[in-house]
Chain A
Amino acid sequence: MLLLADTCFLNHMRDIAEAKIYDFNEIWTKFRWGITPDIEKELDYFHIFEFFPKTNAYVIPIGNDEITNTLALYPILSHFDQADQSLITAAIQENGIILTDDGDLLIECITMGLLAMSLPVFCLDLVKSELLSRRECYQLLIFWETHHRYSKKDLKRWKKSLQTL
């Protein structure tokens, strides 16, 4: 099983690290994470590998044929770009977890019964898995609250959940 992060998710982690709120790089390199050739192109284009080295990622060979097969089964995915379609295909094949900060992708993955989560929820899971301290997670939630990154309702839910961990 692999963690399969999309471009928004990795960009968001980099953004937070560069704002000196929390450096995700150290923990991220410990994970088994995968990308597809289409995601790799996007990450190259947005220079994300300068922050999260490509050498740490497993490249899953998802090509046009695999994507076409996925679209035949799930035509609703046709409105996503090829990178996102490849990520969903990889998640189906590898039984991976999709990590995304794109609402559409999150909604579609969860509706399809795939495992998917956004960055704040991933952080809660890190706390639950004893890989991130409650204090660090709380600081992140405060950052997201201060900077209006997520709705007040969602942040309230996540703060409440953090208290129970």
Chain B
Amino acid sequence: MMEQINFRVSEDEKQVLKVLAEIKGVSITEFVKKIVLKEISPIRVDLAFQLLAEGKLSRKRAWLLSGLTYHEFMLEWEKRHAEEIIPEAIRAKELEIALSIDLKNFLKTIIDKSNEPMV
């Protein structure tokens, strides 16, 4: 899934970028992309966990913002003693839901039997 970002630069700024990109042997857009990503990479992880702690991001968004693999993200999670705040009532309801459901009903074999025609 690739997305596009457009922004305007002055003629002088474009000339600078053009020269630098030529030195690196890449296109202007590729050069700018690399510079931006390099610039934000050290702060992404800190920012992700800061926003998570402030309750502004949930686990998935924080993980995606961090730019880490899920495993690396969870190692950071452990290191930083991160926590996602889930209201007490939601946790209680979640458990209530789970204890009212028999997961055997979701097994393939059970479903297949239920699809058999009734005699």
Contact = CB atoms under 8 A, between A and B. Distances in A.
Interface stretch (B5-13, B14-22, B69-77): B69-77
Interface string B90-114: 1101110111011111111101000
A91 to B, nearest CB: 12
Contact of B101 (A18, A84, A97, A161): A97
Interface stretch (B26-34, B38-46, B81-89): B81-89
A88 B106 CA distance: 18
Q: Main SS of chain B's interface residues? A: helix
Contacts of A115: 97, 101
Contacts of B94: 106, 110, 116-118, 121
Interface size class of A (residues with CB under 8 A): 35 or more
A12 B87 contact: no
Interface in A99-131: 101-107, 110-111, 115-118, 121-122, 124-126, 128-131
A-B pairs, top 8 by smallest CB distance, nearest first, are A104-B58, A11-B70, A129-B103, A125-B98, A103-B84, A102-B60, A121-B98, A103-B58
